Structure formats: structure tokens, C-alpha cells
């Protein structure tokens, strides 16, 4: 890529914590090493907030997790699929050798993100498709809060497999097999197709899309 004129400048992006943790950090590291003079402004957004910020022009683009409600002129590019798994603290070790249905999951305390998030809406629709109501006992404000709450034995939670993997390896938490399938989700990039991007934002977008188009 032609890096002329990219010794300075700035890029503003919105990212959900899931997208940042399991996908975006590596891309930002590689971009920063190539273009150390470019300032990055990173906004921590839920998917709906990030989409609003793209619409209003506050950020150049967003990297978030699906489901994302994207209307023209906004466009969405799928970047990476991920699967979520059910996990619990070590007091739930006995459950790790069983297979629970979502109906049985309802017998245990559940931790989830707040009602205003797309993750909540996603799980609400999964539970509804099995004739169940999603009624978490604990609602966390951010995805980063869920793992510590699980470790503290506050309940079971659905987490992206890549976010749960290090704690599973250290045996700090356990995975609980499910009889019911949880649909795959995606990390996606959302941008305004009618809003021209600056050179720095275009280059970061290209870095993120590398290997995905």
C-alpha cells in the first residue's frame, strides 16, 4: 500500500468490547507499527451506539458484533465468525459433564449484558425460539465484567469462545455443554458508503479487511 502522506492524521473508530477483544486489537497493533504517527481515537460502544455514531459522522467506521441493524447508506462487511459457549465458575464443575437444554439453563442464575445491547436481544430471540423468556439474575454493563462475575460464582453466562479460552485453560471456569444450538455470530465492519473517508481511515479499513474480501 502507498503510505505517502500517512505520517500523521487521525482515525476515529467505534468498537464493541467483543470485537475489540477477539478481533480488532491485533489489527490495531499492526496498523500502529506501520503508521506510528497516526492518532487513533477509539470509542467503546455497544453495537447500536456504534451504528448511531457512524450515522452522525462522529466516527469513521465501527467494528462490532452481529446482530447489527444497518440501513442504507450504511454498509456492513462480515469479518470473522465466532461461537459463544456457556460457562460457569468452578462450583458448577458437575454440570461440565452434562448436556443442558436452554430450559434447564433457566434453573440456574444467569448473567448477561443489559437489555439495551444487541447481545441481550440476540439471546432473548434464541430463548424465545425455544418458548422461553430470558430473565437474567445479573445484568452487566460491559462484556469485560461478565468473566469476573462468572469466576465469582454469580452464575452462568454465554461468552465468545476466544474470550473464555484463557480462563478455561487455567481451569478458573468450566464450559457447560448445551443440547440446543446457539447460532454463530459475526464480527463486522460498518461504514457510511456516502461519507468519504480520510486517507488514514481508508488505510486502517484496508488493514482490517486484509484477508476478508
Instruction: Say if residue 104 is in the same domain as residue 43.
Output: no
Instruction: Say if residue 59 is in the same domain as residue 120.
Output: no
Contact 55/71 with Cβ under 8 angstroms? no
Average pLDDT, the chain: 92
How many structural domains are present in the chain?
Answer: 2
Closest CA relative to residue 24, chosen from 84, 85, 83, 80:
80
pLDDT value for 2: 45
Instruction: Say if residue 47 is in the same domain as residue 90.
Output: no
Q: For residue 152, tell me if it sits in a domain.
A: yes
Q: For residue 2, tell me if it sits in a domain.
A: no
Instruction: Say if residue 37 is in the same domain as residue 77.
Output: yes
Instruction: Say if residue 144 is in the same domain as residue 191.
Output: no
Kindly report the CATH number assigned to the domain that includes residue 52.
3.40.190.10
Q: For residue 135, tell me if it sits in a domain.
A: yes
Stronger pLDDT, 26 or 4, i.e. the higher one: 26
Q: For residue 146, tell me if it sits in a domain.
A: yes
C-alpha cell at 8: 500523521
Q: How confident is the model at residue 117 (pLDDT cuts 50, 70, 90)?
A: confident
Count of positions (residues) in the chain: 213
Q: How confident is the model at residue 44 (pLDDT cuts 50, 70, 90)?
A: confident
Instruction: Say if residue 74 is in the same domain as residue 92.
Output: no
Distance CA 177, CA 59 (A): 39
* DSSP state letters, 115-178: TTSHHHHHHHHHHHHTT-----SEEESSHHHHHHHHHTTS-EEEEEHHHHHHHHHTTSEEE--B
Q: How confident is the model at residue 1 (pLDDT cuts 50, 70, 90)?
A: very low
Q: Which residues pair with 10 in a beta bridge?
A: 39
Q: Which residues pair with 78 in a beta bridge?
A: 188
Instruction: Say if residue 97 is in the same domain as residue 132.
Output: yes
Instruction: Say if residue 46 is in the same domain as residue 62.
Output: yes
Instruction: Say if residue 118 is in the same domain as residue 129.
Output: yes
Q: Which domain holds residue 195?
A: 10-81+186-209
Q: For residue 196, tell me if it sits in a domain.
A: yes
Q: For residue 99, tell me if it sits in a domain.
A: yes
Instruction: Say if residue 145 is in the same domain as residue 97.
Output: yes
Instruction: Say if residue 171 is in the same domain as residue 155.
Output: yes
Q: For residue 160, tell me if it sits in a domain.
A: yes
Q: For residue 4, tell me if it sits in a domain.
A: no
Distance CA 166, CA 65 (A): 21
Instruction: Say if residue 73 is in the same domain as residue 32.
Output: yes
Amino acid at each position: 500500500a502507498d503510505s505517502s502522506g500517512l505520517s500523521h492524521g487521525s482515525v476515529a473508530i467505534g468498537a464493541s468490547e467483543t470485537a475489540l477483544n477477539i478481533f480488532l486489537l491485533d489489527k490495531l497493533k499492526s496498523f500502529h507499527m506501520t503508521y506510528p504517527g497516526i492518532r487513533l481515537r477509539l470509542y467503546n460502544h455497544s453495537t447500536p451506539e456504534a451504528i448511531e455514531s457512524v450515522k452522525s459522522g462522529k466516527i469513521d467506521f465501527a467494528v462490532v458484533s452481529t446482530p447489527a441493524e444497518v440501513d442504507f447508506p450504511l454498509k456492513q462487511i462480515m469479518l470473522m465468525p465466532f461461537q459463544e459457549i456457556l460457562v460457569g465458575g468452578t462450583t458448577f464443575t458437575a454440570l461440565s459433564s452434562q448436556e443442558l437444554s436452554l430450559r434447564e439453563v433457566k434453573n440456574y442464575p444467569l448473567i448477561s449484558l443489559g437489555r439495551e445491547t444487541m447481545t441481550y436481544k440476540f439471546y432473548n430471540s434464541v430463548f424465545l425460539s425455544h418458548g422461553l423468556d430470558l430473565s437474567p439474575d445479573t445484568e452487566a454493563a460491559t462484556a469485560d465484567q461478565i468473566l469476573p462475575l462468572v469466576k465469582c460464582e454469580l452464575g452462568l453466562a454465554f461468552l465468545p469462545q476466544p474470550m473464555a479460552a484463557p480462563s478455561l485453560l487455567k481451569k478458573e471456569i468450566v464450559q457447560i455443554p448445551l443440547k440446543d444450538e446457539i447460532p454463530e455470530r459475526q464480527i463486522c465492519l460498518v461504514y457510511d458508503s456516502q461519507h468519504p473517508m480520510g486517507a488514514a481511515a481508508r488505510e486502517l479499513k484496508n488493514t482490517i479487511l486484509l484477508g476478508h474480501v
